[in-house]
Amino acid sequence: MSTKKVIVTGATGRTGSLVVKKLHQVSDKFEVFGFGRSEEKIKELFGSTEGFFIGDITDQSTLETALKGCDTLVILTSAVPRMKAPPKEGERPEFEFESGGMPEEIDWIGQKNQIDLAKKLGINHIILVGSMGGTNPNHPLNKIGDGNILMWKRKAEEYLINSGVNYTIIRAGGLLNEPGGKRELIVGKNDTLLTNPPNGIPTSIPREDVAELVVQALIQPEAKNKAFDVISKPENDDSAVISKDFSALFEQTTPGL
């Protein structure tokens, strides 16, 4: 059986690196490549740059070289805010985005570039990892650095859905740096899990569980042409049934935004 060639952009991010590592664990199914901006970061996370492309998602030439011949593109790129300066005592910290790293440039134009190139090169499946909250212009994350990050992410999601390429859009709740595979995952739509979480459970999910969803979206046919929000029950929730049947989980999801 031939292996699928998969490329992960944003591969040096906290979630992106987990996806790459998980895909390497199923190397009998996938030939895995990563795309990141920093050679130093790639070496720090993976030991070498073998299997990686180094560049910027706004550079069409480098990006096209990386995507050529791939079956699936996994998009995990995202604008990242930074603190302006240490806050004075009693004051809240202020954040900004670096020059060239605004959400409009990364989460909209950068993702649009990737989608357009993927379509041009005949890639047949794009998995896009985003965030919940995109239906609410007044969400606190949109205020950070005046970036409207969730709105630009939502625009890229809509563009992908309308592109004609098979898609899977995973909109995660607040990301936790906790072990995966120990919780029940709950899927929803249009931020209803944010505005009305079932039984008042936290609207969060471990990064490792998000990474596993990406891997399963590559395996399970039920994940194609679906877009969904996802959170998890707390690990110590007595009512929880740990999610293991990902085919059934994807069957609960629906197409479109």
Evaluate if residue 238 carries a pLDDT over 90: no
- Per-residue pLDDT, 39: 95
- Per-residue pLDDT, 193: 96
- Single-letter code of the amino acid located at 257: L
- Per-residue pLDDT, 1: 54
Select from 121, 125, 120, 26 the least CA-distant residue to 75.
125
Give Cβ neighbours of residue 244 (< 8 Å, ≥ 6 apart): none
Mean pLDDT (the chain) is 95
| Residue range 129-178, pLDDT digits in tens | 999 999 999 999 999 999 999 999 999 999 999 999 999 999 999 999 99
- Per-residue pLDDT, 196: 92
Per-residue pLDDT averaged across 43-58, rounded? Answer: 94
Catalytic residues, by residue number, are 131
- How far is Cα 47 from Cα 39, in angstroms, rounded to an integer? 10
At residue 257 the predicted structure's pLDDT band, cuts being 50, 70 and 90, is: very high
Residues 240/183, Cβ–Cβ less than 8 Å: yes
At residue 28 the predicted structure's pLDDT band, cuts being 50, 70 and 90, is: confident
- Per-residue pLDDT, 204: 97
Give Cβ neighbours of residue 211 (< 8 Å, ≥ 6 apart): 15, 18, 19, 21, 22, 180
CATH number for 4-251 (one of 3.10.290.10, 3.40.718.10, 3.30.70.1070, 3.40.50.720): it is 3.40.50.720
Taking the domains of the chain in order of start, what are their residue ranges?
4-251
| Residue range 62-76, pLDDT digits in tens | 999 999 999 999 999
Lowest average pLDDT, out of 93-97, 107-111, 131-135, 242-246, goes to: 93-97
| Residue range 226-235, pLDDT digits in tens | 999 999 999 9
CA atoms within 13 A on the CB side of 97: 21
Per-residue pLDDT averaged across 99-115, rounded? Answer: 95
Inter-CA distances, 102 with 98, 109, 134, 182, 244, Å:
7, 10, 17, 35, 37
Evaluate if residue 242 carries a pLDDT over 70: yes
- Per-residue pLDDT, 139: 95
- Single-letter code of the amino acid located at 127: I
Over pLDDT 70: what percentage of the chain?
Answer: 99
- How far is Cα 226 from Cα 131, in angstroms, rounded to an integer? 15
